[in-house]
Amino acid sequence: MNKTVLIIGVVIVAVIVFVLFGGLGKDPQHIDSPLIGKPAPPFALKAVGTGETIDLESLRGKPVIVNFWATWCVPCYEEHPTLVANARNLPNVQFVGVVFNDTEDKILRFLAERGAAYPTLIDANGKTAIAYGVGGVPETYFINPAGKIVAKFEGPLSTELLEENLAKAMK
Amino acid sequence: MTPILGRFIILASVLVATTGAFIAYAAGAKRSPEGLRWSQRFAYAFAALMVAATGVMEYALITHDFSVQYVAHVGSTQVPLWVTIVSLWSSLEGSILFWGFILGIYIAVTTWVNRNDHQEYMPFAIGTWLSCGAFFSFLIAGPANPFLTVANPPLDGPGPNPLLQNHLLMIIHPPMLYLGYVGMTIPFGFAIAALLRGRLGQSFLRPLRASLLLPWVFLTIAIMLGGWWAYEVLGWGGYWAWDPVENASLLPWLTATAALHSAIVMERRGVLKGWTVTLIQASFLLTILGTFMTRSGVFNSVHSFTQSSIGPTILVFLAAVLLFSVALLSFRIDSLEAEGQLDSAVSREGMFLVNNLFFVVLTFTVLIGTCFPLVVEAVKGKQMSVGRPYFDAMVVPIGTALLFLLGVGPALPWGKASRKEMQRALLPPFITGAVVLIAGYALAVRNPWTLLTLLFGGYAAHVTLAQMWLPLRQRMKRGDSFGPALIDTQLRRGRRRFGGYVVHAGAVIVFVAIAVSSTMRTQQEVTLTRGQSTTFAGYTVTFTGTEERAEPHRQSTIARFNITKDGKPVTTMEPRMNQYATMREPIGTPAVHSTITRDYYISIMNLQGDQAGVLIINMPMVGWIWGAVLMMGVGGLIALIPMRRRTYVVVPERAPEIDSEVVA
Amino acid sequence: MIATLFLLAFMQIKVPDAAQFVGAPQGTPLTGPQLERRTMEISSELRCPVCQGLAIGDSPSIMAANMKAQVRELLERGYTEAQILSYFEKSYGQFVLLKPKFQGVNALVWILPILALAAGFLLVVTKAKKLETAPVKAATAEEEPADDPYLARVREMVDKP
C-alpha cells in the first residue's frame, strides 16, 4: 500500500470537500458593504421639484433611510409604494431618495403617478452612488442618528425588511 | 401519460444500472465469461432506457405537452422548432437527462466495440460506468426530475432563457461540451479496471488511449465554441473571461491533454503507468467538480443554472468517488509495474515529463484561482475576487513555456542522444523562430510576451513540419514518388503520428493568434450623431440610424452603421441593445465583421435619441483561433482512425488435430 | 468642467469626492491617448458589482459606466493607480479588486502556484533520475493466455518443438 498517495489523496479530498461544502447555501450575488459601521459619506444634493439643496449632515439626530433608485429600474416600481407608505407612517425617520443617470422630467412624472412623501435628490453622474458603493438599483442604506451606516439592503424592500433594518438604526 | 411513462423509464434505468454494476463487478472478481455477457446486456439495456427517456422528453417538448413539468418550465408555442428541440439542455433538469443520454450511448458503443476483447478488464470497466450511470439516473429520478406531472397544465410556457435563443451556436456548443465531459467517464472506467485488476498491459493501452482521445477532441472544440459564442453574443469584445464555469471546462481538458502525453511515454517505455492512471481519474473527477460548480449556485457565473438542491447531492457523489479513487490508487498503484526505464532525462521522454509538470501546475493554478474566494470567505468571512488580471499574469508565462516545449520536445530524439545530435536537432529551428520574430517586430509587435510567443511559435512550427516531413523523406530516399509516399506515411501508416503533429500545428497557431489578438488589439470609444462618421483602423464608420424591434421576449434597439474603406462600401454592421423582460440590465449584441487578418467589432455602449455611444474594437487574427482549434480537433480525429488489425494465422502441419472448439 | 464646478459651488451642492477617502492626488494629471490607455488598464482591474465577474471596462451596466467615468476623472486630476483602487476598495470592499492584493491570506493565491511549480520541478527531476536507474524488467508476455483461448492454442502449437 502506497502511504504517500494515500496521505496526499486524503488531504486533497478533505480540502476540496471542506471548501465546497462551506460555499453551499451562500448567495453568490450578495456583496458585503465595507461602509457598515462607518460614518456615512456626506453629500448635499438638489431635490427635484422644490430645487432646494438637502445636506445629509443637517439630518443628524434622527435615523435616515437613503434609497438609491431610478426610473429605468423595474424593481424600483414595486418598491416605491412600500417606501411611500412607510415614510408616511414613520414621521420620526427621514427618508431620502437619490436618483442617478436620469432626467428631472422623468422623475417628476414617476413621482406624480406613484406618489411622493419625501425628497428625491439628483446625483447627476452617480458619484454619490460610487462613494456609497452602489452597484445597481434599488439599494437602500440605513443611517443612525449619529450619522453611521448601520445596514445596507440590496434589492426592493418590503415593510418587514425595512423595519428589521431600521431597528438596527434605532439602537 | 407521458410524465408517468418518463418516470417509469427512469426508475427502470436506476434499477438496471445498479443491478448491472453489481453483476459486472462480481463478474470481474470471479473472472466469469457468462457474467461478462450479462454485464454487457445490462449496459445495452441502460443505454436503451436512457435513449427512450430522452425520446419521450423530446416528444413532450415538440408536442408542447405542458403536463410535463420540464415542458411547462421551458417550453413555449411561440418559439421556432429548433429552439424547442434544444431546450432539452437549456435548463437544469433537462440537461441532466441529456447527460444520461450521452453517457448511455458512450457506454453502449464502447461495450460493443470491445465486446470480444480485454475480457479480464471489461467487467470492471462496465461496472464503473454503470455505477456512474446509476448516480445520474438517480439524480434524474429524484432531485432533478423533469418528468414530474403538473396538476393544472398551463396553455403555454415561458420558453427557454432568452440568452440561449440568441445564436445558432447554442445548438452545437452544449452537445459538444457534453460529448467531451461525459466521455471522460469511459477512460475513467478503464483506469479503474486496470487498478482493480492490478495490471495495465500493453494491449490495453489502445482502448484506453482511444477512449481518452475521442472526448478530448469534443472538449477541445466545445471550449472553442464557448469562447466564440461569448465573443459573438455578449458584447464585451473578448472570448475568455476566466469565469468559474469556463474554468470548469478547461480543467479536465488540461489533465486529459497531460494524460494523452504521458500515455505515449507509457506505450514507448512502459513507465509512468500509475501517473497516467491518476491523470485519467483526475480528468473524470474534474468533470464532476465542473458539473457541481455549474449547478450548485456556489459560484458567481454567467453560466450558472438557477440554484437548486442538486448541489449537495453532486458534492456527496464527488466526495465518494474521490475517496474511492484515492483508496484504490493507494492500494494498487504499486502493482502497476514499470516495464522499462528512461535512457536519459534530456530526451524526448524527459520533455514529456516537463510537459506534464506544466499542465498540472496550470490545472492547479486555475483551480486555486477559481476556488480561492470561496476559501477566504469560509475561513475569514471576507469577500474578495480573483479575476482576469490574476489568471492572465499566471497563465501567460506557463503557456509560453508550454509553447517552448512544443518546439523543443519533438525536436529532441528518443532516448540518449549525443551532443552533436542534440545540436543538430535543436539549433536550426531557431532560424525560423528568429525570422518570425523579426517579421512580427516589423509589423509593430512590441509586447515582450508576444514577441517571445512569435519566437517560440516559429521554432515549434519548424519542428512540427520537420517531424511530419521525416518519414516522407525516408520513403522518398528509398525510391517512392512524392504523392504515394505522402499518403502512405501520413495517412496510412503514420496516422497517429501525423494526427498528433496536426494537433501541434494547430496549437502553435492558437498560441500565436491568442497572443496577437490580445496584445495588438486597439479600440476606440466614440459618440456619433446620426449621419456622423469616424475613422478607425482603416475603416470609416457612419452612423445611419436606429430601429426599434419588439419581440415577444425582448425589446431591441438596432443601430445601423455603414462601413467603407477608401470610399468603397465594405458592409453594414448592426449591433443591438436588448432589454429582456426577465433581466435587470440590458444586454448588448455586438456586430462583428471578420476578415482573414482581423475582426472589426462594434458594440453599443449607450443609445440616446439621435446619439450612439459605441465601442469599436480592431482585433487582429481572431478568426485564426477558431480555425486552428478546429484543426486541432481534426488532428485528433485523424489519430483516432484505427489501424487495420493484423491477424496472424498459424497453420499447423497436422491439420486434423486442430481443436474444433478453439477454431470456432 | 470649470463651469460645472462653478455652478455647483454656487448652488452649494456637495458630492462625495475621492479626496475624502484617499487624500490629495499624488501623481501627475494625464491627458490624451495616455489618459485613455490608463483608463482602460485600470478599468480592467475593477469588478462590476452587479455583473458576474466582468470588469467595469467590459460591462454595459450603468453603474459600471459611471465608475469608468470616475476613473478617467481621477486620472485627469492626477490620482495614482494605487489611490484610485484604494478609493473603490473603501466604498465597495475588496470584492471590487479583480487582482487580489498581495496582503495577508490573499498572498497565498500568488504564492501557491509558484510553490507548486518549484515542488513539481523537484519531483520531476527526482522521478527522471529514478527512471534512469530503474531495473529493466524482461519483456513479459503481453496478456495472460487465458485472455484469448485461440491465441493460447496458437502459441501452444507454435512453441511445440
Last residue of a domain, one of B165, B197, B231: B165
Examine residue A161 and state whether it is found in any structural domain, yes or no.
yes
Quote the number of domains for chain A: 1
Of A32-46, B376-390, C131-145, the least confident: C131-145
User: What sections of chain C are H helices per DSSP?
Assistant: 2-11, 18-22, 32-43, 62-77, 81-92, 107-132, 149-159
Quick: pLDDT tens for B180-216.
999 999 999 999 999 998 888 888 888 999 999 999 9
Q: What ipTM was estimated for this complex?
A: 0.86
Q: Is A125 on the interface with C (CB under 8 A)?
A: yes
Domain presence at residue B182: no
Residue A21 has pLDDT above 60, yes or no: yes
Q: Is the pLDDT of residue B29 over 70?
A: yes
CB B395 within 8 A of CB B368: no
Residue A18 lies in a domain: no
Predicted local distance difference test score (pLDDT) of residue C143:
46
- Is B609 found in the same domain as B474? no
pLDDT tens by residue, B368-383: 999 998 888 888 888 8
Q: Which residue has the higher pLDDT, B138 or B300?
A: B138
Tally of residues, chain A:
171
In Å, what is the CA distance from B284 to each residue of A25, B142, B292, B360, B464? 26, 23, 13, 15, 30
Q: What is the pLDDT of residue C158?
A: 63
| pLDDT recorded at residue B644 | 65
Residues B1 and B34 in one domain: yes
Averaged pLDDT for residues A25-33: 69
On whether residue B77 sits in a domain, the answer given is: yes
Alpha-helical (H) ranges within chain A are: 3-23, 74-89, 104-114, 127-132, 159-170
Q: Is residue A24 part of a domain?
A: no
Rounded to the nearest angstrom, the gap between the alpha carbon of residue B127 and the centroid of all alpha carbons in its chain is 25
Residue of A nearest to C63 (CA): A135
Q: Which residues contact B489 (CB under 8 A, 6 or more apart)?
A: B471, B472, B475, B498
List Cα–Cα distances, B411 to B9, B416, B461, C62, in angstroms: 55, 13, 11, 53
Q: Is A13 a domain residue?
A: no
Residue of B nearest to A15 (CA): B375
Q: Which of A88-97, B323-332, B451-460 has the highest mean pLDDT?
A: B451-460
Q: What is the pLDDT of residue B84?
A: 87
Q: Which residues of chain A lie closer than 8 angstroms to C20, CB-CB? A: 41-42, 131
B497 and B593 housed in the same domain? no
Model confidence pLDDT, tens digit, residues B522-553: 888 889 998 889 999 889 999 998 888 887 77
Flag whether B304 is in a domain: no
pLDDT tens string C1-21 = 566 565 555 567 788 888 888
Residue B355, domain member (yes or no): no
Q: Look at B61-75, B191-205, B438-452, C9-23 and tell me which has the smallest mean pLDDT.
A: C9-23
Over 60: is that where the pLDDT of B314 sits? yes
Range picked from A14-28, B595-609, C73-87 for highest mean pLDDT: C73-87
Average model confidence (pLDDT) across chain B: 88
Whole domain around residue A39: which residue ranges? 35-170
User: Which of B272, B372, A134, B430 has the alpha carbon at shortest distance from C124?
Assistant: B272
Specify the pLDDT at position B280: 96
Assigned domain for B60 exists: yes
Residues B554 and B609 grouped into a single domain = yes
**Do residue C128 and residue B350 have CB atoms under 8 angstroms apart?**
yes
Contact state of C63 with A33 under an 8 Å Cβ cutoff? no
A100: β partners: A123
For the domain that residue A144 is a member of, what is the CATH number? Answer: 3.40.30.10
> Cβ separation of C63 and A126 shorter than 8 Å?
yes
Query: Which structural domain range is residue B34 located in?
Result: 1-165
Chain C contact probe: residue of A32, A127, A141 with most C CBs at under 10 A:
A127
pTM: 0.90
Q: Do B535 and B460 lie in a common domain?
A: no
Give the pLDDT confidence score for residue B307 in this predicted structure: 57
Please report which helix (H) or strand (E) contains residue B441, including its range: helix B429-442
Within 10 Å of residue B120's Cβ, how many Cβ atoms?
A: 18
Please determine, for residue A103, whether its predicted confidence score (pLDDT) is greater than 90. Answer: no
Written as nine digits, the cell of B329 is 490508487
- Mean pLDDT is lowest, of B63-72, B359-368, C108-117, for B63-72
Percentage of residues in chain A having pLDDT higher than 70:
96
What is the structure's pLDDT at B440?
92
Q: Is residue A11 part of a domain?
A: no
- The better pLDDT of the pair C7, B54 is held by B54
Q: Spell out which residues of chain B touch residue C153, defining contact as CB-CB under 8 Å.
A: 659, 662
In a domain, B229, yes or no: no
| Inside any domain, residue A108 | yes
Residue B132 belongs to a domain with what CATH number?
1.20.120
- Position B456 confidence tier, pLDDT thresholds 50, 70, 90: very high
Say whether B605 and C121 touch across the interface (CB within 8 A): no
Residues of B with CB under 8 A from a CB of A: 289, 292, 296-301, 304, 311-312, 315, 318-319, 322-323, 325-327, 329-331, 333-334, 371, 374-375, 377-378, 382-383, 584-585
Residue B363 has pLDDT above 60, yes or no: yes
- For an interface test with C, give the residue of B121, B366, B386 to mutate (most C CBs within 10 A): B386
Q: What's residue B434's pLDDT?
A: 94
C116 at the B interface (CB within 8 A)? yes
Answer whether residue B225 is part of any domain. Answer: no
- Cβ-defined contact of B374 to A136 (cutoff 8 Å): no
Domain C2-99 class in CATH: mainly alpha
Judge whether B572 lies within some domain.
yes
| Chain C residues lying within 8 Å of B361, measured CB to CB | 113, 116-117, 120
CA A29 remoteness from chain centre: 14
Q: Does the pLDDT at position C137 exceed 80?
A: no
Residue span(s) of chain C under CATH 1.10.8.640 come to 2-99
Band (pLDDT 50/70/90 cuts) for residue B633 is: very high
Q: How many CB atoms lie within 10 A of CB B537?
A: 15
Domain count, chain B: 3
Residue B183, burial from CB neighbour count under 10 angstroms (0-12, 13-18, 19+): buried
- Angle between helix C32-43 and C62-77 (nearest 10): 130
